[in-house]
Amino acid sequence: MLFNSLDFAIFFPIVFALYWLVARNLTLRNVLILVASYTFYGWWDWRFLFLIAVSTLVDFYVGKKMHKIENKKKRKQLLFVSLLVNLGFLVYFKYTNFFIESFVDSFRLFGKELEVSTLNIILPVGISFYTFQTLSYTIDIYRKQLKPTNDIIAFSAFVSFFPQLVAGPIERASHLLPQFYKTYTFNYKLVKSGLLLMAFGLFKKMVIADRAALYVNQVYNNVDDYGGVGYIYATVLFAFQIYCDFSGYSDIAIGLGRTMGFDLMKNFDSPYISKSLTEFWRRWHISLSTWFRDYLYIPLGGSKKGKYRTYANLFIVFVVSGLWHGAAMTFIIWGAIHGIILMIEKGTFTFRKRLFNKIGLDKNNFSNHLFFGFIIFTIVCFGWVFFRANSLSDSLQIVLGFFSDFNLGDMFKKETYLIGFKPNEFKVITIAILMLFAFEYFHKKHNSIKFLNNQSTLFRWSFYLSIVILIMLFGIYGDRNIQEFIYFQF
């Protein structure tokens, strides 16, 4: 079920009303959340529910058993069961065909053609997200950082919690699970702020991301029809498409949770104003970045085993992150690009600090902030080429086109980059992106929720109505097939 669908527009008010009717009864409330979550997820394909149910039951009983055992070897064996089941599902559904294709391609390099075909496997929606969420539960119990729950209903509701089930934020059991043991009272201000956050998420998704997708898909699906300027426009628009699509989903998820009294972690923090790639990853997909930090980077040794081991650990983490995003070489290259740049940043940190101090360069100065922000945005966009391209050959054609097929004069010739695209769409999306930047800047400075609460009723409701009108006018249009959120494929 999509957040931006009529189905969900009917589903959520019913769940919301029933939820607050039984909110004081913990058992009934958690049963309702569980039923609603399984209904929400099963809307795509009821067969996928089997995977969630198995992962939930395995980790619930492994966690309970592991907590009672002190023997380290037996505890590792139990953790291995959890890893085998969860990662086994993930590897089979997401990477089987990738490994088959890689195996065939490796033989092809030596002139051997293998008659091996890929399997017809449907990727379950959101499997990468809920797999990581439930794995963190058993790993934390193994580390003795968390005590297991004895409430199978609460745990099942935690694993399948519908607001963030499909595309995060990837919550830790230590943060979200205890919230299923608390009773909540209806809080008008909290519900209102949650609904406002949902509206802002829908604005980002429907007005900016879906509109950008029209041009991005046109260019990236027909790379031979465009040149360097078209590639640049499409890549920059994709940067905003993926940000508004994914952060929009996170906003809706966090807002949904808030309307029911739940506090979900922040997943994005204006990443495109970052002055370094390190800062970018502190602001982008925060729940995944911190998951890899705590469950892969630190176990590999983090930064405690010398600088070269630190660089290697960084590189491994980002290559794995690329593979987590998709079973293709393009995603691995995307991860490797970020890993290499981060290694360079870390390795030259002292030199750059001395150099900046010597020449009196302050990154916090507005003009310098813009300069460094532009460099990081350019690097990120370069990486996005491999993330979005349909194949490795397409991505290489686009990258080469940036340099070999670029003419500054073409930037102002619509016929060179607006093939099959309406010129007015550029005006709408440019204004929408500027509105987004203005709102995010204002929110960081003044906290928009508090600001609105201090305004008159007329002003507040005029603002709410304007968001709804903008979504209705500029968000409901065009090809309905582009509605699905980008991160559903991961």
CA 65 to CA 275: how far, in whole Å? 47
Catalytic annotation, residues: 325
Contact (Cβ atoms closer than 8 angstroms) between residue 391 and residue 330: yes
Q: Per the structure block, which two tokens stand in for 283?
A: 């602001």
Contact at 8 Å (CB) between 98 and 182? Answer: no
Q: How many C-beta neighbours within 10 Å does residue 224 have?
A: 6
Contact 44, 125 (CB under 8 A): yes
Give alpha helix (H) positions in 43-71: 49-68
Q: Which letter does DSSP use for residue 306 in this model?
A: -
Which token pair is 365? 């100065």
Q: Report residue 396 as tokens.
A: 């290489």
- Distance between CA atoms of residues 78 and 350, nearest Å: 44
First-last CA distance in the chain: 16
* Rounded-to-integer distance, Cα 151 and Cα 230, Å: 55
Contact (CB, 8 A) for 321 and 333: no
- Contact indicator for 264, 253 with CB cutoff of 8 Å: yes
